[in-house]
Structure 1
Amino acid sequence: MSPSGEQSQIAAVPAPIHGDVLEAVLSHLPLIHLVPKSLVSKAWNKTVISTLLKSPKSHPWLIIQTQGSRSPYLTTTSAYDPSSCLWIEIHHPSINYVSALRSSRSNLLYMIFPSKFSFSFDPLHLTWHHAVAPRVWRIDPIIAVVGKRVVVAGGACDFEHDPLAVEIYNIDSQTWTKPEPMPEFFKGSASSTWQSVASDDRRLFVLEKNGGVLHTFDPLTNTWCGPYDLLPDLLVFHSGIVFCNDRMILIGMLGDADVIIGIKGVFELTY
């Protein structure tokens, strides 16, 4: 091969991209496209991590869970990435028994049956925990994860003697305990239909949707506290709570069930 041919072949090889140039290029890619780029080499992996740390906070994903209405009631999970405008199908472990898929909070899914109890609380629901069912047969319970414990309260069937019963499942020891029941305040409304639920690593927060009255429960001491009136406005007829970035947010609808005149939010509550 002639010297000129060698020079031509060398010139055809693209120069590698490194440092700030590579980081600038990767910063324009959607989040989902950065995953395969991080596997190219150690240098690219380091650059991807640096890009994620320096880039603006990404938009939250939308996770949709669907379940068939006929046996065997198969479930599917899809996620929408707003940065790349793509839908992704998520494959999670199958459930070995038939039960309705329900959600107590935005990130807690569960299936409860007289003999079994399954739940998942990681963002994409790739991990499922399976346990024996609570002793009290429940059809519409209040369920939330508090640290390493799952609190199951109220929602008992009509023939159960204790409609306010509380049971706590320890994820580490895989055992159930039964502390003191819910306060008498919840009599007649101890179910997720009437209550909005939020939790952090220490406590469970239960808000009456129509009255705006809050109670808290500490599973370590098995104690209930409250009531606390959280209504931010006398015009609020329906309210709910949720945790976001370690802050509890209260949102209320103004007006009545027939005519909604607006929405009012309190974006951080001290407790």
Structure 2
Amino acid sequence: MEPRPKQIEAAAAAADTALHGDVLDAIVSRVSPLDLLPASRVSKAWRTAVLSSPRRPPPWFILHHLGRRQVAAAFDPLSRAWRSLPCAPSYPSHRQGPQTQQVSSYMLSPGGGTRLCVLSVSALALATDPFGASWRELKPPRYSRTDPVVAVVGTRVVVAGGASDLEDGENAVEMFDGGASGAWVSCEPMPEAFRWSESISSAVVGRRLYVLEKQSPFTLSWFDVDSRRWGPARGVRVPDPTVRHAAIGFANGRLLLGGAGGIGTGFGWRAESVRVWAVDEESLQVEEEVGSMPRAMVEELVGDGGWGLSSLGFLSEGRFAYVYNPSYPKDFFLCELEEGGGCRWESVPRPACMEERPTHRVVVGCCQVGVEDLMMGKDRIV
């Protein structure tokens, strides 16, 4: 015999009495948001605990395939499972075809993490949720750009680099301040050291956007959104002289640099190590080593299909960072920065969708996913 509604209410009330306050918060902090979604419907007390919990679970890793048939998947670290997003992101209505837009990701503050963005000749659209279900549309920047750095710093949207040299503005920086002018304003251009940069890594820390040239020799600088000016551009002296590829992120309250070192020269170079260092936000100098990826994982990162490692993917949020090979986006690794120092590494199960579509362009991101996000996209997640 199925329980009656009154019996269910009585059971929920009893649970509320037995589990409340810190006990309920402790339970919530250890459960995946996917499992908390049905728990939030048990009673008002459970719903309040689920939605108001101060917990900071590991960020999800999200893949978007940009082939003719777009597919997306998300990895939930707490359940250690990939979840299919059967519907492609709901791109803004100004889209007219794959040739008219650029889909990438943008940095988000506070806390780091990334979300989808779409740049076209008619608009810049920023996803306002982790899965691309809702968007904020802005007028396009003045300069047409290819793969620029896009970041939200506080209430301001910053677009840097990527402009055509035909427009004499390849280092141009523009900022949209929704709380003030409500329009794009020109800022000091990127430092000259980034004029010919083909690959830039970025991180948002406080009121600054940090950018790093990802290939050796490495140059690091920062842009202040309040003064609209750049700080000094300085060469980064990595303690390991064999590091050829690097990227930056912000995790556990510190600016971090991940670097891939190896042996050989030219096309014969092969990565043999991946290490993470802390970086001083003012001097831009590398400080102590935070952790090192196990050798077996480095070999998986490089790949067995002859791809090698031509760049290092490094995405971070909270106390966690994901490391991956942009040229071989099948194997991903999660790094947890421990409170007492050091890192704990784990391999992410290989997503089935990557086996099916290994050649399509992929946009990746990582961000916190809460129960409220799942409520918004409950019909999109399997």
Q: Which band: TM-score by shorter chain?
A: 0.7 to 0.9
Distance 1:224 1:49, change over 3 A: closer
* Unaligned runs of at least 5 residues, structure 2: 1-6, 108-112, 283-382
Residue type of the alignment partner of 1:114? V
1:202 maps to which of 201, 207, 211: 207
Q: Which residue of 2 aligns with 1:37?
A: 39
Q: Which residue of 1 aligns with 2:182?
A: 174
1:217 aligns with 2:223: yes
- Asked if the contact 1:120–1:127 (Cα under 8 Å) also holds between the matched residues in 2, the reply is yes
Deviations 1:97-140 (A, max 9, x none): 13231124451322112222112264444441111111111112
Deviations 1:137-189 (A, max 9, x none): 11121222211111111111242122221111123453100122222222222
- Asked if the contact 1:108–1:144 (Cα under 8 Å) also holds between the matched residues in 2, the reply is no
Residue type of the alignment partner of 2:274? I
Q: Which residue of 2 aligns with 1:68?
A: 67
Deviations 1:205-252 (A, max 9, x none): 011112222111112101111123333222221111011243211101
Shift of residue 266, structure 1, vs aligned partner: 0.6
2:76 maps to which of 78, 81, 91: 81
1:95 aligns with 2:92: yes
RMSD: 3.2
- Asked if the contact 1:66–1:75 (Cα under 8 Å) also holds between the matched residues in 2, the reply is yes
Aligned equivalents of 2:50, 2:128: Cα separation in 1: 27
Amino-acid identity (%):
31
Residue type of the alignment partner of 1:33? D
Distance 1:269 1:108, change over 3 A: farther
1:162 aligns with 2:172: no
Aligned equivalents of 1:268, 1:214: Cα separation in 2: 10
1:231 aligns with 2:214: no
Higher relative contact order (CA 8 A, sep 6+): 2
TM-score for the superposition, normalised by structure 2: 0.57
- Asked if the contact 2:128–2:136 (Cα under 8 Å) also holds between the matched residues in 1, the reply is no
- Asked if the contact 2:90–2:132 (Cα under 8 Å) also holds between the matched residues in 1, the reply is no
Distance 1:66 1:95, change over 3 A: farther
> Does the residue aligned with 1:178 lie in a helix, a strand or coil?
strand
Query: Which of these two proteins has the greater Rg computed from alpha carbons?
Result: 1
Aligned equivalents of 2:251, 2:128: Cα separation in 1: 15
Aligned equivalents of 1:44, 1:76: Cα separation in 2: 34
Would you say how many aligned residue pairs link Structure 1 and Structure 2?
250
Q: Which residue of 1 aligns with 2:155?
A: 148
Aligned equivalents of 1:49, 1:130: Cα separation in 2: 28
Aligned equivalents of 1:59, 1:185: Cα separation in 2: 35
Aligned equivalents of 2:86, 2:208: Cα separation in 1: 31
Aligned equivalents of 1:37, 1:108: Cα separation in 2: 27
Distance 1:203 1:78, change over 3 A: same
TM-score for the superposition, normalised by structure 1: 0.77
Aligned equivalents of 1:222, 1:44: Cα separation in 2: 45
Shift of residue 49, structure 1, vs aligned partner: 6.5
